[in-house]
Structure formats: C-alpha cells, structure tokens
Amino acid sequence: MSAAATAAASDSFAGRLLAWFDVHGRHGLPWQAPRTAYRVWLSEVMLQQTQVATVIPYFERFVARFPDFTSLAAADIDEVLALWAGLGYYARGRNLHAAAKQVVSLHRGDMPDDIEAAQALPGVGRSTAAAILAQAYGSRHAILDGNVKRVLARHAAIPGWPGEPKVAAKLWMVSERHLPQTRLADYTQAIMDLGATLCSARQPSCERCPVAADCAASLAGRIDEFPASKPAKARPLRRQQLLVVEDAEGAILIERRPPAGIWGGLWCLPVAAEGEAIDELLRAAHGIEIEQLETLPSFRHAFTHFELELQPQRCRLRAEATAAMALRERPEQRWLNMRRDPLPGLPAPVLQFLNTRLRADDDPCPEPSTASSSARKPKASTAPRSPASSARSSTSKSPRKPGPAGSRTRPA
C-alpha cells in the first residue's frame, strides 16, 4: 500500500476506529482468548439483549461444562437450560442446543465459514452470523447490532426507528460501506465497543469519540434525536395463577413448559388462567386431588411485550399415593423436593419466589449445605440455587433497556 493510501486508510472511519480500539478497546473478554468459532458463537448468542458484565460468568460456566459443539450437542436439554436459567429470553438456550446439534450433524462439528450456512443455524440471524465469521475467521461481513445501529444512525444522521425496514436498509448500506479491507475481527469488536462505551444511548462521550469530527448528529447538536425511538405502544397486563402444590413430605409439583412461549422448555410450577378452578385443572391435567390452603401475595414480571402478574395459590394433596402414581406416568411432570433434589432449569422469577416468599411459610426451599442436614438455618440465609443463578440480579427482569458502558442490545 502506498504512503498516500495508508494515510487515507488511517483517516477513514474504520482507520480512526481501529486506532482508538488499539488503545481503548476491550481486549480481555473471555471469548477473545482463544477466539474460536465456538466461543465467539456462544458469546454472540448470550449477548443478544444482555449486558457484557452479566454474560461473562454465564459464559465461563457454560464453556467449562460444554467446551465445544460436540459436548453441547450431546448434552441433555435440561442441563443446558439449567445453566442458562437467569439469562432470560430462553428461546436462545433452546436454539443454542439445536444449533450445536446441527453443526455436528451437518458441518462435522465446526462452525461453517459460509454466511448463508451460518445464518441457517437456529437463533443466528444476519448480524449474529456476520459477527461470528468476522471475529472467528476474519471474514469481511458487516454487522448491525443495537450498538452499531446507534453509532451509524448518529454518524450519518439517519432519521427514523431502526426497526423499520427502510431505515434498517440504509443502516446496512452504511455499515457495509465502512468495512475495512483488513483487521475485520478487530474492527467488528471496535465498532461494538464504541457503541457500548462512548456512543451510549444516554450521555454519550462525544468529546472522546474517534469519529466525532464528521459525525453529522454531533456537529448539528442533535445527538439525542438519533436513532429515533420505537413508536410507543402500551404494554398489556396479563394475570395468571401460580399453583404451589405440596405433598406430605414438602415436595412441590412442577411441570415442563411447552417449547414455545414464555419460559419455553423450563420446569415451572403449574399455572392456571385467572379465575380458573384450580382443583378441576389439577384433577384433569395431573390426576390429583387437592385442598386449597391460601392465596399468597401476587408478584409481577415484565416481558418485552407484556407484563405478567402471578397470583400464587398454595395447595396440598389429599391423596398422595394416587398423585405419585399418576405423575410417574407423565415424564413432563414430577415432584421436586428443594431440600434434597438437584434443581432443574427454573424461571428466575419463580425460583426467586420459591426462595423468598415461601420461606416464611414452612420454609420449603433448600438450605445451605451443613454437616447436619436437619439443622435449621435462620430465614435470612441464602438457599442454593441452580448452577446459573448467581448472576441473575440484572437478568431476571425483561425487557432489558440499553445500559451504561458494557451493554449490548443484539438482534438474533
């Protein structure tokens, strides 16, 4: 490359961004060393709608148990979802497992380096596929995650909400135009880092931005106008009953959720529609007879498109032997003794409910391990949780709004 071409490259959008990244970028993320296709893919899926700081402990636990596509593909879905529990958006966990099986069966256990083949994997869309191939193989593909949309919408002053097809098409065109010829892995990480740190949704640090000199929104003093917000839409409230059915030994009835819908594939307390007769439901669905004990305080959980209010109803079996026999014939339903049984993947708000609200009533939740299993702990002690529950403080709520430095908002 001639001296003039080198100077032009260094003055380009990509050249300035890479120079900034070399000094200020994030170089110590666990999926960067080693930066294999499997680790990059796993991180990209986890980072969809989730902050980097939240993902790191989940990622480390996941790769410790499943170090490659083959081990993940061979795993039981319950173990996968147990490690995922608390990250939210559980379809990602199911898609992760399905994609690993597809990589093993169709691609001999290696992530395909073809963009169309990568995009055909469950849970992998255009931007995610491009990010994987650029970072793992150095392929020249543009990305357009939530942070990148914000950077490009501001730099080019592109009006409109990025979720609109016409606006998205303009952003894709700009993203492709800025691609450098070399250092694609670093450039991909750099533009994501810029959006996650300096070009944040609120209070961006334009004075430190490496591309601020020709940022149209910044020069016009209109940073807050780009990108345009999604048109406001009221989020409806749904109400359901959460059935806490206990047997004579303190075990609770759980069932596997359907693959589609909220908490798909996880184990959960049974739910009933608001106002539905729960004794009739449990008799028909589980073959058991119960007596209703009390109605516990309700609680809410926010999803992306609606808010769910759960009204716990505490019940007790009338015929334990009949219930146990019926449940043995239904593999998607079982009794869980939280004091002694390993916890399956449970939705974070349901696990939190079991670990807190029910502790005041007969304390059915597990106690920390001690030399004497019969010793009672003070109610303020913390119960053991599922393998992935230690970092769920910020992930048990949904939707996730763009956060401060380190956040990622990624489309699938």
On whether both 258 and 158 belong to a single domain, the answer is no
Q: Which domain covers residue 311, as residue numbers? A: 237-341+347-360
Catalytic residue among 44, 246, 255, 367: 44
On whether both 207 and 270 belong to a single domain, the answer is no
Please check whether residue 151 lies inside any domain of the structure.
yes
On whether both 43 and 71 belong to a single domain, the answer is yes
Task: Summarize pLDDT for 238-261 with one digit per residue, the tens.
Answer: 999 999 999 888 889 999 999 888
Most confident of 132-146, 233-247, 345-359: 132-146
State the CATH number of the domain containing residue 274.
3.90.79.10
On whether both 214 and 291 belong to a single domain, the answer is no
State the CATH number of the domain containing residue 70.
1.10.340.30
Using CA atoms, how far residue 5 sits from 1, 8, 10, 178, 188, in Å, is 6, 5, 9, 16, 22
Using CA atoms, how far residue 372 sits from 207, 337, 339, 355, 379, in Å, is 60, 17, 13, 20, 17
Q: At CA 145, angle to CA 142 and CA 146, rounded to 5?
A: 145
pLDDT of 141: 98
Tokens of 116: 């169309």
Task: Summarize pLDDT for 356-395 with one digit per residue, the tens.
Answer: 865 555 544 443 333 333 333 333 333 333 333 333 333 3
Tokens of 146: 């939530």
On whether both 195 and 297 belong to a single domain, the answer is no
Please check whether residue 371 lies inside any domain of the structure.
no
Over residues 16-24, mean pLDDT: 98
Which has the higher per-residue pLDDT, 390 or 407?
407
pLDDT of 372: 32
* pTM of the complete model: 0.67
Which residues lie across from 301 on neighbouring strands? Answer: 308
pLDDT of 339: 84
Please check whether residue 142 lies inside any domain of the structure.
yes
Indicate the number of domains in the chain.
Answer: 2
- Answer yes or no: is pLDDT of 411 > 90: no
On whether both 202 and 313 belong to a single domain, the answer is no
Q: How confident is the model at residue 340 (pLDDT cuts 50, 70, 90)?
A: confident
Per the annotation, the verdict on 367 as an active-site residue is no
The sign of the dihedral angle between the CA atoms of 56, 61, 64, 69 is negative
Please check whether residue 395 lies inside any domain of the structure.
no
Nearest partner of 255 among 285, 214, 290, 218, judged by Cα: 285
pLDDT of 391: 34
